[in-house]
Amino acid sequence: METRKIMCGDGKERFVPIKPSKYEVFGYPQPGLEIPDDVKELAKKLAAKGERDKLVILYLRDEPVVQKHIATKDVLGEPVEVPYIKAARGNPIAALVGFATEHSVHIGWSKIHPELEELPFTKTDALECAIIRGLIDTITISPTGRSAKSGTGKFLPKCVERALPKFVDRTKKKFKIDPDNVDILAP
Side-chain half-sphere of 143: how many Cα atoms within 13 Å? Answer: 3
pLDDT digit string, tens, across residues 40-88: 888 888 888 777 778 999 999 888 878 888 888 887 888 888 888 888 7
pLDDT digit string, tens, across residues 6-25: 777 777 887 777 766 655 66
Least confident among 76-80, 152-156, 183-187: 183-187
pLDDT band at residue 26, thresholds of 50, 70 and 90? Answer: low
Q: Name the packing angle between helices 123-136 and 37-47 (round to 10°).
A: 130
Backbone phi and psi for residue 74, each to the nearest 5 degrees, phi listed first: -95, 110
CA-to-CA distance for 71 and 83, rounded, in angstroms?
6
